[in-house]
Amino acid sequence: MQELNEILNELKKEMPYKWRVQSFSRNYPTAQCVAYIDARDVMDRLDACCEWKDRYYEVCGNLYCEIAIKVGDEWVSRSDCGTESKVEADKGQASDAFKRAAVKFGVGRFLYSLKIMRVRTSNKQEQGKPYPFVVDNSGNRVNDLTTYINNLK
């Protein structure tokens, strides 16, 4: 299955990624940030490397996504379960299942080797927002977290 190995090597390649806050410290003005790709990034990588399809199904109340890629005349598939997001539960669960299934083909797996970044946050919360916000060394609010963290490295 040399062709499968060639496809997998292409799928595993590093790709552009973004940063998001994973958690805020309760005791210190800091946040932990993790690198991520979104489902559209995964779709773009799959489109560039192979013919693919996906399907969603439920097992014991959990949403799964199965991604299949075409290798010769056969379909090779991987699947995984998603978890609800805090923002949009159903959409987040589908997106998570899709990305987790893609990781089994190597898409975005490099993200797990990147270190978690710690950044400064404000000491206060904004009105109506439950969390503080990321600030630079001068105390100014950071609006583009990805650019800010990439410039720190």
pLDDT of residue 130: 66
**Per-residue buried b or exposed e for 12-42, using 16+ beta carbons within 10 Å of the residue's own CB:** beebebbbebeebeeeeeebebbbbbebebb
Rounded to the nearest integer, the mean pLDDT of the chain is 90
How does pLDDT run across 81-104, given as a tens digit for each residue?
988 765 565 577 899 999 999 999
Residue 87 vs residues 67, 83, 138: alpha-carbon distances, Å: 24, 12, 30
Domain boundaries, the chain: 11-37+109-153, 55-107
Can you tell me whether residue 47 is helix, strand or coil? helix
How does pLDDT run across 104-139, given as a tens digit for each residue?
999 999 999 999 999 999 876 666 666 788 999 999
What is the C-alpha separation between 41 and 38, in angstroms, rounded? 5
pLDDT of residue 153: 74
What is the C-alpha separation between 141 and 23, in angstroms, rounded? 17
